[in-house]
Amino acid sequence: MKEIKIPISQKDIPAGEGVTLYTGWDSPRVLKTADYRFNASKLMIFGEDGVLREAGGELWANTDQKLGSPQLSVTVPPRGFAIAFGNGGNEEIRACFDFAMEGAMLYNATMVVHRRVEGFVEEDSLVLRYEEALTADPFAVKFLFVGNSCTYFHGVPLKLRSLCAAAGRAVDVTYCTRGAAYLHQFADPDHDYHKLLIARLGEKKYDFAVFQDAGAATSEDMEASLRSLLPLVKENGAKPFLYMRSAPTATEGKMQESSAALSKFYRHAGQIFDAPVSPVAEAFVKCRETYPELELYADDRSHHSGMGSYLVACCLAETFLGLDTRGNAYDAYFGRETAAKLQEIAHEICGQK
């Protein structure tokens, strides 16, 4: 167990140099991005039990989205605490942060993390503890995810792995994702994204490869890309899956219209290439109809929220692994009642009949 101790520079003020501490209250404490200037800071948020729940950073309250999808606030759990530290800060705390993030690609947001990091405040110092060396399960089912932020946002692959772990199934996840990427970029031999894919395929053998295209991609675009991509993953030994991403808009009416279009061409591609399709877009529509109080979209009203990412992960587990997520103990800190509703929707739409 590695332990590091770092001085706390200031408390409960806008983020600055060094480590800034934000103490929790008896009820959830909301820290608004605009008020606390998190744009140049990493964030780590701990629960009352001292276990790291959420991490990320570089939050900009830019509702025009010029600097990426905005996250307008973070929430400190009751009697928990949060810390902010600069990008160029202490190497030890940066190493701990990187350990917790597991290589997840994230911008202008925070997400639930799954590796165990313990933290507590000792006088004017922050103490962090975590296991540096983790043993990989040689029998884990290996997934390669190819897509964009609708795959990596809020750590969808990591939530899938945690759902499976709670069900006693070991899963290993690898990202081949870039923001706003189209599958045709991964298929283009001259594009850097194609080179990234070839590198990932050269690293290990995968059991499954999950493909997700951009929201603006047409059916013809995706099918042409898959004709080039599927032979590459099959040569690796991976079985291809299609992840029918959620609609790229939360606007009522447009969300349902976009979801119907996505459903039509993902299902058509699945038939052409004999690839299972996880109908996430359909699950989002069903969830909005059934549980309108559950917010599935992030502050930018385009990407999925943390809660939405949990629904995505449940859908992938149901479709690709035949895992009945109902009653699964992993709730991503949303609580058993909320998790049960999302599990129910995922099973209804994506469960094996």
Helix/strand/coil percentages in the chain, nearest 5: 35, 25, 40
The predicted-structure confidence for 283-341, as pLDDT tens digits, reads as follows 999 999 999 999 999 998 999 999 999 999 999 999 999 999 999 999 999 999 999 99
What does the pLDDT read at residue 66?
61
Question: What local confidence, expressed as pLDDT, does residue 63 receive?
Answer: 66
Question: Residue 65: pLDDT above 80?
Answer: no
- For the chain, percent of residues with pLDDT exceeding 70: 97
Cα-only R_g, the chain: 20
When the pLDDT of each residue in the chain is averaged and rounded to a whole number, the result is 95
Nearest-10 crossing angle of helices 280-290, 254-273 = 150
pTM: 0.95
How far is residue 338's CA from residue 326's CA, in Å, rounded to a whole number?
12
pLDDT of residue 167 exceeding 80:
yes
Tokens in use for 154? 């809020």
CA–CA distance, 115 with 118 (Å, rounded to integer): 10
Flag the least confident range among 75-89, 116-130, 222-236.
Answer: 75-89
Cα(207)–Cα(239) distance, integer angstroms: 6
Pick from 293, 286, 280: nearest CA to 338: 293
For residue 320, the model assigns a pLDDT of 96
Least Cα distance to 233 among 256, 201, 211, 262 occurs for 201
Q: Label residue 236 exposed, middle or buried (CB < 10 Å: 0-12, 13-18, 19+).
A: middle
Domains, the chain, ordered by start = 2-130 (no CATH), 141-350 (3.40.50.1110)
- pLDDT bucket at 136, cuts 50 / 70 / 90: confident
Query: Torsion-angle region of residue 332: left (phi > 0), alpha (psi -120 to 50) or beta?
Result: left
Q: How confident is the model at residue 70 (pLDDT cuts 50, 70, 90)?
A: confident
pLDDT at 67: 59
Stretch 198-204: mean pLDDT, rounded? 98
pLDDT band for 61, please (50, 70, 90 cuts).
confident
Q: How confident is the model at residue 133 (pLDDT cuts 50, 70, 90)?
A: confident
- Strands (DSSP E) contained in 38-106 are 41-46, 52-57, 73-76, 81-86
Choice among 96-105, 258-267, 304-313, 325-334 with the minimum mean pLDDT: 96-105
pLDDT on residue 72: 92
